[in-house]
Amino acid sequence: MFKITFGDKSASFDASISVFDAAKAAGVEFGREVLAAQIDGRVVDLTHPLDGDADVRLLTFADEGGKRAFNHTASHILAQAVKRLYPSAKLTIGPSIDNGFYYDIDVETPFTADQLSGLEKEMQKIVRENFRLERFTLPRDEAIKLMEEKDEPYKVALIARVPEGEDISFYRQGEFIDLCAGPHLFSTGAVKAFKLLQCTGAYWEGDAKNKMLCRVYGVAYPSKEELKNYLDMLEEAKKRDHRKLGRDLDLFDVLDEGPGFPFFYPKGMILRNLLEDYWREIHREAGYEEIKTPIILNRTLWETSGHWDHYRENMYTTKIDDEDFAIKPMNCPGGMLVYKRKLWSYRELPCRCGELGLVHRHELSGALHGLMRVRCFTQDDAHIFMTPDQIKDEIIGVYRLIDKVYGAFGLPYTIELSTRPENSIGSDEMWELATNGLKGALDTVGKPYKINEGDGAFYGPKIDFHVHDCLGREWQCGTIQLDMNMPERFDLTYVGADNERHRPVMIHRVVFGSIERFIGIITEHFAGAFPLWLSPVQMTVLPVGEFFNDYAASVAEKFKAAGFRAECDLRNEKIGYKVREATLKKIPYMLVVGEREQSSGTVTVRNRKGEDEGSMTVDEFIARSRAESDSKEIK
């Protein structure tokens, strides 16, 4: 006999039984919203057989595992539709991804919009046919034979890599069979709503030396309402696309002459400099000292850090005086040399060094995306060198700094703690010390966090901060990484209380992540309508006619003298035109002046939402704007 537990309900069995049947026997009530199950951290089908004691959690679309099983099934429905309409197409892989699914397909020419529409109709037919997804396994040789018979060379190549003696997993739905480890839904009929979004090119296995495939992206939801909400969000995201807003607002752009290398225009530099000034201000308050390290350093340094052997394909290299040099892809090795410039005492630790360092990394052209994925960017790096007993307090300090910054931008966030991976370096004792230090710090601040077992860096555990913008999209920005590798590689030491030399513990951390990417994120988050303190132009004075130009100019000068970024529109245009244009530029305040305002020394305030905020004196509005800007208020 064995016992299967579902939360507060359980049942005992003396023979193998599926998750679904075990749940029914245990008296668990659930409907079509249950999609899959989780056993000991592993997501499985509802048809998965149970033959021993197990704690089972049933998953819905609200659970990550349930959503991935749902999207994975949708990708198989797409593949079945492709094989029905285009029998000569060759299938490769079709995984679930964070926001939907895709399938890479070898076809002579990429699918057009009309063909995607046809595939959607065939997918709808497959959903109505409500095929049950049935898992079966075959020995390796039989699996290869099956895929050869179906003329699926990519599947054959995948199976051929599996060691001899291992069985291969497949899923059947109707006439369609696909190589797959699962998990999947009970039937195709559960996928009620979906949309194929686009086709892009993708190299087989991500290698540019391989054939270019057609990648079809899609999204799927349990209801049409949920799908509509997601598609509406995509439309809103298009309006907020930072690439378009960067051009429209004359902030930044990426030009054909420099793919992956952003240009920042004067107003964009105002925004960038404000962010950097804010970064410097909060870091001074937190006890950091700013440093600057060279962009180009010699090969010996990168061999010591390990980048020359493990990251060289992503680095830009050159020769100087017949010696190999590299443009830095990260700031860490330079930070090591800054620490190593003298012998430190434990009394001088922690040492906190921050750098706004420009780095360069070679990215494939197909991966480039505005400011979000570039080839040169400025990382707001900091490196903290400390004694082991200082780990917890330093992690708490970094957490509070990051929390303060994201709060200033109205960006909620979630936290993930990633632990020791299989290919790690360092002793068990150091890993335990480091991981407990991170956990202890998070537990002390009381912020909930998710643990990603085995997903840490090879040199130490890490904390990742995922910010959520106003559309609910997730962006990985801040990170805190404990490193036990670099101090060893660079032979960093300090003199302890025992007058002996010891190895310091090191933290790598970023807050923005990269200045460029963070600007892209907040541009989309605010839809270009930045808070007053960040707006490149904070207010514009609009005279209703040329007779009031002198008064308008004097008002603008008063704002400039008070430290505001003010403009004055003296063009001979109608006031409605000026207001519309200023609104499109997303200037926070428009100050309309005419005869009444001139005679009373006032301005009529209108905000970019189109709301009239009434009349007030120039000094009153300066005081109000100063309070709004200094508090970094988000309206």
Q: Which of 243, 288, 293 is nearest to 268 (CA)?
A: 243
DSSP annotation of 132 = B
Please, are residues 487 and 502 in contact by the beta-carbon 8 Å criterion? no
**Please, is 41 exposed, middle or buried when counting C-beta atoms within 10 Å of its C-beta (0-12, 13-18, 19+)?**
exposed
Say whether 243 is catalytic. no
Give me the catalytic one of 199, 332, 477, 568: 332
Whether 383 sits among the annotated catalytic residues: the reply is yes
Instruction: Identify the residue whose tokens are 């800007």.
Output: 629
Residue type, 124: Q
Is 115 annotated in the active site? no
Annotated active-site residue in 45, 104, 380, 381: 381
Nearest to 510 by CA among 401, 372, 376: 401
* 3-class DSSP state of 215: strand
Residue type, 186: F
CA torsion, ordered 136, 190, 72, 183, to nearest 10 deg: -40
The two tokens of residue 63 are: 């659970």
Asked about 381 being catalytic, the answer comes back as yes
The answer to whether the CB of 431 falls within 8 A of the CB of 456 is no
Tell which residue, 584, 526, 256, 287, has the closest CA to residue 408.
526
Active site residue 481: no
The one catalytic residue in 135, 240, 307, 361 is 361
User: In 3D, which of 235, 224, 232 has the Cα closest to residue 194?
Assistant: 224
Given the residues 80, 115, 379, 390, the one annotated as active site: 379
The amino acid that residue 338 corresponds to is V
The conformation of residue 258, written as its DSSP 8-state character, comes to S
Contacts of residue 26, defined as CB under 8 A and 6 or more positions apart, other chains included, come to: 4, 5, 6, 9, 10, 11
Element housing 317 (H / E): strand 316-320
Say if CB 270 and CB 565 are below 8 A apart: yes
- 439 catalytic? Reply is no
Tokens of 216: 């079809």
462 is catalytic: yes
Catalytic residue among 462, 517, 525, 578: 462
Of 479, 483, 464, 476, whose CA–CA distance to 417 is shortest? Answer: 464
Element (H, E) at 401: helix 391-408
Q: How far is the C-alpha of 350 from the C-alpha of 504, rounded, in Å?
A: 9
Nearest to 420 by CA among 439, 403, 393: 439
104 neighbors 75 (Cβ within 8 angstroms): no
Collapse the DSSP code of 580 into the 3-class scheme (helix H, G, I; strand E, B; otherwise coil) and give the result: helix
Residue with tokens 């980048």: 307
Contacting residues for 336 by C-beta, under 8 A, at least 6 apart: 305, 486, 487, 489, 490, 492
Identify whether the C-beta of residue 295 lies closer than 8 Å to the C-beta of residue 330.
no
> Quick one: which of 385, 313, 379, 329 has its CA closest to 353?
385
Strand partners, 360: 376
Name residue 628's amino acid: E
Residue of 67, 242, 360, 383 with catalytic role: 383
CA pair distance 504, 91, nearest whole angstrom: 51
Whole-angstrom Cα distance, residue 172 to residue 83?
Answer: 14
Given 90, 184, 328, 508, the catalytic residue: 508
Catalytic sites, residue numbers: 332, 361, 379, 381, 383, 462, 508
